Structures are given as structure tokens and as C-alpha cells.
């Protein structure tokens, strides 16, 4: 029988699950050996399948030894602290404070964008944007431009070298690119850095190859 891995990550459909991609990307970027457990979302048996793993009945969920962590940002924090010797965040205190702030912001805010333009790796159809969505895109554009300008001197990611902030924005880059959102040049370059990341490309390719349709009413917070 195959031995169970010490680190396991429960994720949803790669095509649709914004929040699953974030800790998955962190584990991949830092070469952590983990088992991926995929549960198709919004099927009749989804709750039954998630029940043994997920207190919230949502994904992602990290299982590490006998510890369960749910919610993407909490999982990224845990991975950084417990598995990566804290390198998930920038070391400089100013960068770290900013990285935590923008990660929390994208995790908690942008309700119109998340509702109207949910992640769909397959979709190449440009959706129209309401004024509220345009305002939220402008805020993301401004975060990306300012962070790259102020903190990006040591590399191509938001704070130079790769960090948790990039994990939180990677699915956003896929969404903005799919919908051909208008970005300034600096933000466009950062967006391309995320889209060219080999693990992001692998996630998107696998998402595009998935066949499960969304069986139950579509949820806004995917």
C-alpha cells in the first residue's frame, strides 16, 4: 500500500477554484512534497467527499500530520511558518507589512470582480465589466504598479522574489488576462510574469483539460 504523505492538500477543480490555486502554487514553488486530493465542486456528493477533510466544507484544506488548516491565506501562512522557515513572506519589514496587507486585501475584497468574473481557465470570452468591476480592476492595477515600483527591485514578482502575495494574485492574473482587462505597462509585465510561471501554466492547462461541469447552482465565491 502507498504510504500517505505528511503534507496533503485538498483542492477543487483546477478550472474553477481560485482559492485552491494559492497554497498549491506556494507548495510547488518551494518544492514541498505533497499529495494532491481533488474533489469536484458543486456536485451532489461534494459535501460528502469534503466532510472528512474540511470543517467549512470548502476547499482548499491542508492536512499536515494530525493538523488541519483551512482557508487559503491561513494555509499559506501555515506553510510558510511550519514548512518553509518563514520564507513565504519577504524578510524586509516594510515589504512584509505591505505583502501581508495586499494579500489580505485580495483575499477579502473585490466582491464584484469575484462575482462577475470568477476563475474559468477555459474561458477565452471577454466578459463586459460593470463600473464596480472596473473600479476594482483599477485598484488591483494600482497595487501591482505601486508594489513593483516600490518593492520589486530584486526580481520580477510583486516584492522581487516570489512570495505569498504572488500566490494570492496568480489566479487574478489568469482572470484579468482571460477578460483582457486594461492594465498599465508595469502591471501588465507583472501579470505576464505570473502567467509565464511554469506551475501557473501547468495549473491552467490541467484546468482546461477538466471535464466536470458545475452541477449545482453556480457560487459567486469561486
Ligand X SMILES: N[C@@H](CCC(=O)N[C@@H](CS)C(=O)NCC(=O)O)C(=O)O
Residue 118 in contact with ligand X, rule: CB under 6 A: no
Residue with smaller CB distance to ligand X, 116 or 192: 116
Residue 222 in contact with ligand X, rule: CB under 6 A: yes
Other Cβ atoms closer than 10 A to 13:
25
Residue with smaller CB distance to ligand X, 58 or 148: 58
Residue 71 in contact with ligand X, rule: CB under 6 A: yes
Residue 17 in contact with ligand X, rule: CB under 6 A: yes
Residue 59 in contact with ligand X, rule: CB under 6 A: yes
Residue 114 in contact with ligand X, rule: CB under 6 A: no
Residue 104 in contact with ligand X, rule: CB under 6 A: no
Cβ-contact 112, 130 below 8 angstroms = yes
Residue 130 in contact with ligand X, rule: CB under 6 A: no
Binding site for ligand X (CB under 6 A): 12, 17-20, 41, 58-60, 71-73, 107, 219, 221-222
Amino acid at each position: 500500500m502507498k504510504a500517505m504523505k505528511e503534507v496533503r492538500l485538498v483542492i477543487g477543480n483546477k478550472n474553477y477554484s481560485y482559492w485552491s490555486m494559492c497554497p498549491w502554487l506556494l507548495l510547488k514553488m518551494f518544492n514541498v512534497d505533497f499529495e494532491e486530493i481533488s474533489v469536484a465542486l458543486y456536485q451532489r456528493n461534494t459535501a460528502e467527499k469534503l466532510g472528512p477533510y474540511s470543517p467549512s466544507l470548502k476547499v482548499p484544506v491542508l492536512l499536515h500530520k494530525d493538523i488541519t488548516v483551512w482557508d487559503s491565506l491561513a494555509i499559506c501562512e501555515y506553510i510558510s511558518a511550519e514548512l518553509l522557515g518563514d520564507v513565504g513572506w519577504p524578510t524586509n519589514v516594510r515589504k512584509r507589512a505591505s505583502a501581508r496587507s495586499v494579500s489580505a486585501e485580495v483575499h477579502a475584497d473585490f466582491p464584484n470582480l469575484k462575482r462577475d468574473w470568477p476563475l474559468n481557465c477555459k474561458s477565452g470570452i471577454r466578459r463586459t465589466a460593470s463600473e464596480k468591476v472596473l473600479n476594482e480592476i483599477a485598484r488591483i492595477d494600482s497595487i501591482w504598479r505601486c508594489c513593483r515600483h516600490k518593492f520589486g527591485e530584486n526580481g520580477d514578482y510583486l516584492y522581487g522574489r516570489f512570495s505569498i502575495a504572488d500566490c494570492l494574485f496568480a489566479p487574478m492574473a489568469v482572470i484579468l488576462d482571460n477578460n483582457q482587462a486594461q492594465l498599465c505597462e508595469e502591471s501588465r509585465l507583472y501579470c505576464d510574469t505570473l502567467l509565464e510561471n511554469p506551475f501557473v501554466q501547468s495549473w491552467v492547462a490541467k484546468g482546461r483539460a477538466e471535464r466536470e461541469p458545475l452541477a449545482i447552482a453556480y457560487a459567486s465565491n469561486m
